[in-house]
């Protein structure tokens, strides 16, 4: 089947067989894994995975591809969820999930935040993403790539950039380079679930105007005495604080209002 990639779905299909083999190697699936693939497309990863796994779940939004998948793979080996991954309830698939996918560039950040809601149901996740996004995910404090995405995801996941993926590995060839990232949920998030709403508001406020100092961006939360109590420099900027620093501010404010 020839399927013309659809721009509205951000479709770029993987065609490099050596890279496909390398990705399967780093995922290292075994037959009993409860593996879920987001956006199987034309089956570049689906085909080798089905040969290894007892059963595979896939989430696909494109109705033409869904029809092709039904024709290509037996139902005993592949369950196809015809749905938008951004709205899909991954909890319905149970626990002990391993989630993989070549995520569309145009929805990668909101999709990562959506998937982070299911971290307690997940063993690990392996995604192919725009290299710039992966660099932001794994960035260290006080670097230009470090931002809201870094802080929010690092609170819940241990992450590692695994492979660089040349643009020529896809059809059509995208204008950006890609990379593979591994995400493993922390046994316990750095910020407790009960404090997460305040943590989210703090991080969002801090990075909303990242060139401004924390004295300005967090003025609705902290006064100078609070900075002193926390041993934080009010003239620092959002990217200078670690995830643990943001966790400490959240804990301090929760204690102060308790």
Asked whether residue 1 is assigned to any structural domain, the reply reads no
Using DSSP, state whether 102 is helix, strand or coil. Answer: strand
Q: Are residues 201 and 236 in the same domain?
A: yes
CATH of the domain at 101: 3.40.50.150
Task: List phi, psi (to 5°) of 2.
Answer: -100, 130
Q: Are residues 127 and 243 in the same domain?
A: no
Nearest-angstrom CA–CA distance, 120 and 215: 35
Q: Are residues 58 and 74 in the same domain?
A: yes
Q: Are residues 23 and 150 in the same domain?
A: yes
Beta strands in 17-156 (DSSP E): 34-38, 56-60, 78-82, 97-102, 122-130
Q: What is the mean pLDDT of residues 234-253?
A: 97
Task: Give the closest residue to 221 by CA, choosing from 202, 199, 248.
Answer: 202
pLDDT at 23 over 70: yes
Element (H or E) spanning 251, and its range? helix 243-257
Q: Are residues 93 and 203 in the same domain?
A: no
Q: What is the mean pLDDT of residues 88-103?
A: 95
The DSSP bridge partners found for residue 38 are 59, 101
Q: Kind of pairing, strands 34-38 and 97-102? A: parallel
CATH of the domain at 249: 1.10.8.100
Task: List phi, psi (to 5°) of 205.
Answer: -65, -40
Q: How many CA atoms lie within 13 A of 218 on its CB side?
A: 30
Q: Are residues 209 and 160 in the same domain?
A: no
pLDDT tens for each residue of 52-89: 999 999 999 988 889 989 999 999 999 999 999 999 99
pTM: 0.89
Asked whether residue 155 is assigned to any structural domain, the reply reads yes
Asked whether residue 103 is assigned to any structural domain, the reply reads yes
Asked whether residue 122 is assigned to any structural domain, the reply reads yes
Nearest-angstrom CA–CA distance, 232 and 246: 11
Q: What is the mean pLDDT of residues 30-34?
A: 98
Which residue range(s) make up the domain with 136? 7-185
Nearest-angstrom CA–CA distance, 37 and 43: 10
Q: Are residues 19 and 143 in the same domain?
A: yes
Asked whether residue 69 is assigned to any structural domain, the reply reads yes
Asked whether residue 2 is assigned to any structural domain, the reply reads no
Token couple for 117: 């809601």
Nearest-angstrom CA–CA distance, 155 and 164: 24
For the chain, the domain total comes to 2
Asked whether residue 227 is assigned to any structural domain, the reply reads yes
């Amino acid at each position: 089947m020839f399927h013309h990639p659809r721009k509205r779905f951000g479709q770029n299909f993987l065609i490099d067989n050596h890279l496909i083999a390398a990705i399967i190697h780093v995922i290292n699936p075994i037959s009993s894994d409860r593996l879920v693939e987001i956006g199987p497309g034309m089956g570049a990863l689906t085909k080798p995975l089905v040969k290894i796994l007892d059963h595979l779940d896939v989430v696909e939004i494109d109705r033409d591809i869904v029809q092709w998948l039904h024709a290509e793979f037996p139902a005993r080996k592949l369950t196809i969820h015809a749905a938008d991954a951004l709205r899909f309830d991954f909890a319905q698939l149970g626990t002990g999930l391993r989630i993989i996918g070549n995520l569309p560039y145009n929805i990668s950040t909101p999709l990562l935040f959506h998937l982070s809601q299911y971290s307690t149901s997940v063993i690990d996740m392996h995604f192919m993403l725009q290299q710039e996004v992966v660099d932001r995910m794994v960035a260290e404090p006080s670097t230009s790539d470090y931002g809201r995405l870094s802080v929010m995801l690092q609170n819940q996941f241990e992450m590692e950039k695994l492979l660089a993926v040349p643009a020529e590995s896809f059809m059509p060839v995208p204008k950006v380079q890609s990379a593979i990232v591994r995400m493993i949920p922390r046994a316990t998030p750095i910020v407790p679930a009960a404090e997460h709403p305040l943590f989210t508001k703090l991080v969002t406020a801090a990075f909303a105007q990242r060139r401004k100092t924390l004295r300005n961006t967090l003025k609705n939360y902290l006064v100078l005495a609070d900075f002193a109590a926390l041993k934080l420099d009010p003239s620092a900027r959002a990217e200078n604080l670690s995830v643990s620093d943001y966790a400490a501010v959240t804990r301090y404010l929760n204690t102060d209002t308790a």
